[in-house]
Structure 1
Amino acid sequence: MNDYVTLLIKDYVKSYKVLKGTESNWREPIIGIASAADPMFSDLKDLISTSHALPSDFISDAKSIIAFFLPFSEKIVKSNIGNIESSREWDIANIETNNLIVDINKYLYKKLTEKGYDSTVLPPTYNYDEKLLISDWSHRHVGYIAGIGTFGIHNMFITEKGCCGRIGSIITNMPLKPTTRKENENCLYKYNGTCKKCVDYCVVDAISTDNGYPYVDKKRCNDQIYDDNIPEYPIGIGDACGKCMCNVPCSLMNPVSKLKNKSV
């Protein structure tokens, strides 16, 4: 059934531009599966917040969580290099990808229901405490549990196709085989202490590695996104930044994998 779910998502993303007439393009998604019984879900209550939900809070007999990363095209990423405010292309891509995540959820819900299974339709964003900046369901951490990436020092989620994109997740009672989590970090700094390009490119100096320990000032980062210059588009608001994600080694690929391939 893993292949069935994977093919559904990949085919839907491939057809989405024509289906919805979007401006944005996406590379092929990365998809992973986590077991609802994985003890790491309980760990998120300590790591993130006691309010962080468990899969069983959504579906009582939850069996699997499907996590999918939707990588932006190279053109979108390059458009956001330089300047202080995010580019129009970057803003539109974030809005359209949020819509895509919801539509994938709805599409999977329909397909899984036809096979006699239940699933969720979870929002891709805005599901967090605005004061504490803490999420009750972190798609990125779910992606980590599902084995499709790790976190960089900029707190962005780095997959084999980089960090520039968005991630969604679906909870279902369909039994699926979990993806194996890799041991290695995908962030060059965490892997061998090099890079730190994201620190240089953050326009509000919200990322630091004081004493060798990565830290992101979430409030400073959030204030940059929700400043007085939030652009409004017919399809939504441009509440994005992404400067620390663009023009860095992990923008479009896993730099650690590239490094390892060179050494072989």
Structure 2
Amino acid sequence: MNDYVTLLIKDYVKNYKGLKGTESNWREPVIGIASATDPMFADLKDIISSSHALPSDFISDAKSVIVFFLPFSEEIVKSNAGNIESSREWDIANIETNHLIVDINKYLYEKIREKGYSSTVLPPTYNYDEKKLISDWSHRHVGYIAGIGTFGVNNMFITERGCCGRMGSIITNMVLEHTERKEQENCLYKYNGTCKKCVKYCVAGAISINNGYPFVDKKRCNDQIYDDNIPQYSIGTGDACGKCMCNVPCSLINPVSS
């Protein structure tokens, strides 16, 4: 069943531009599977918030959690390097990818139901506490549990195809084989103490390393995204930044394994 689900997602992403007429292009997705009973889900109640959900909160007999990372094309990433405000291409890619994630969820929901199982349709974003700036279902942490990447100094999620992209996840009562979780860090600083370029490129000064420990000031980061210059497009709001993710070694690849 893993190959079935993986192929569904990859083919859908590959054909999406032609199907929807998007401006954006995506590289091949990175896909992982976590067991819904992995004890790390309970750990997130301590790591993130006591209100962070368990897979069983969505589907009582949940068996598997499918997570996918949709990497932006190199052109989109390059467009957002430099300057203070995010590029139009970056904004559009974030909006269109949010739409793509919802569409993948709906598509897989139907395909999984055809097999006699249930699944969720979870939003890609805007599911967080606006005061605490934390999410009750973190796709990035689910990605870590599923073994498809690790966190950088900037708290962005670094996969084998870098960190520039967006993530979605699906909970199902279909039994799938879980992905092996690797112990190795994908962030160069966490791996060998080098790089720190995301600290340099953060236009809000929100990222720092204190006594060897990375720190992200979520309020400063959020204020930069939701400043007075939020562009409005016909397809949605350009509430993105991404400067700390672009023109860095982990933008498009896993720099540790390259």
Band of TM-score, shorter chain: over 0.9
| Corresponding residue number in structure 1 for 2:137 | 137
Matches within 5 A, 1:1-264: 1-258=1-258
Once residues 88 and 71 of structure 1 are traced to their aligned partners in structure 2, the CA distance between those partners, rounded to angstroms, is: 17
Segments of 5+ residues of structure 1 without an aligned counterpart are 259-264
Residues 221-246 of structure 1 deviation map (CA, whole Å, 9 limit, x = unaligned): 00000000000000000000000000
Matched residue SS, 2:25? coil
Which residue type is aligned with residue 97 of structure 2? T
CA distance in 2 between partners of 1:72 and 1:181 (Å): 24
Q: List structure 1 runs of 4+ shifted beyond 6 angstroms.
A: none
Identity of aligned residues (%): 86
Supply the AA of the counterpart residue of 2:215. Y
Take 2:213 and 2:56, find their aligned partners in 1: how far apart are those partners?
A: 34
1:226 maps to a residue whose letter is: Y
Unmatched runs of 5 consecutive residues or more in structure 2: none
Deviations 1:154-174 (A, max 9, x none): 000000000000000000000
- The one-character-per-residue Cα deviations of 1:115-172 (angstroms, maximum 9, x if unpaired) are 0000000000000000000100000000000000000000000000000000000000
For residue 19 of structure 1, what is the amino acid of its counterpart?
A: L
- What amino acid maps onto 2:123 in structure 1? P
Alpha-carbon distance between aligned partners in 1 of 2:152 and 2:163, rounded to the nearest angstrom: 9
**Cα distance in 2 between the residues matched to 1:169 and 1:237:** 22
Partner Cα distance (1:73, 1:250) in 2: 14
CA distance in 1 between counterparts of 2:54 and 2:204 reads: 34
Kindly report the root-mean-square deviation, in angstroms, between the aligned alpha carbons of the 2 structures. Answer: 0.3
TM-score, structure 2 as length reference: 1.00
* Structure 2: distance between partners of 1:152 and 1:188: 8
Alpha-carbon offset, residue 176 of structure 1: 0.1
* Alpha-carbon distance in 2 for matches of 1:36, 1:224: 35
1:204 shift after superposition: 1.1
Deviation at 1:15, TM superposition (A): 0.3
Letter in 2 for 1:52: H
Q: Post-superposition shift, 1:210?
A: 1.3
Q: Partner of 1:255: helix, strand, or coil? A: coil
Q: CA deviation at 1:178?
A: 0.3
Per-residue Cα deviation, 1:81-126 (whole angstroms, up to 9, x for no partner) = 0000000000000000000000000000000000000000000000
* SS of the residue 1:65 aligns to: strand
Alignment size in residue pairs: 258
The aligned counterpart of 1:261 is none
